[in-house]
Chains A and B, each alone.
Chain A
């Protein structure tokens, strides 16, 4: 069993739709990260959370430590949001990664 589980695995949305990607984890963590990976491999860190909620532009990330769950929301989605979104948690001295959610936003 993976330490980090994401859902859905694949997601297709129409431009403008509100999108939610979920992440559940099974280990004790010091922080949770949401990452964005574009074709070709480049990974960019979007958020780092240890509690509560963070917002950056159209992106919102929340975490519930008691439930070991986090969500990434994208409001007013745009085709340029198309990418793989990866949830990662830091536990002890390691990072554990989910398998990613592949998002395609159709114009």
Chain B
């Protein structure tokens, strides 16, 4: 257990539905990252926050994706009007402010869009 928790672990939804995932980082971490991973691939960067500010978004993050970190603690990732291509593992990671290099990953949320 790395101390980063994600909820839910698994989500099955029908195409067109909205889904929301939550990530609770280690409490002292100021950086929080979201990644997407499909089978046989490494994680792909989606977005990251420093405290409550969303500093960078990948081109992969279409208008249907939105992420928030309202109080600089937990974060949510919402996907609107889900498509089958959104099926993937969504990983959250966070890092210490004095050691921004080391990432601690959550166990991920596996999304299946039917």
Contact = CB atoms under 8 A, between A and B. Distances in A.
A33 B44 contact: no
B102 A41 contact: no
Given A41-B89, A41-B108, A86-B42, A95 B56 contact: no
A37 to B, nearest CB: 9
A79 B55 CA distance: 41
Interface residues of A, number: 23
A97 B42 contact: yes
B43 A97 contact: yes
Contacts of B103: 33, 45, 88, 95
A94 B104 CA distance: 15
B97 to A, nearest CB: 14
Contacts of B55: 93
Interface in B21-72: 33, 35, 37, 40-45, 48, 55-56
Interface string B81-112: 00000000101010000000111110110100
A90 interface: yes
B59 to A, nearest CB: 12
B105 A43 contact: yes
Contacts of A90: 101
Given A40-B107, A88-B42, A90-B101, 7 more contacts: A31-B101, A42-B2, A44-B2, A44-B105, A93-B56, A96-B45, A97-B35
The 10 closest A-B pairs by CB, nearest first: A97-B42, A41-B108, A43-B105, A31-B101, A99-B42, A97-B43, A42-B107, A98-B42, A41-B89, A99-B41
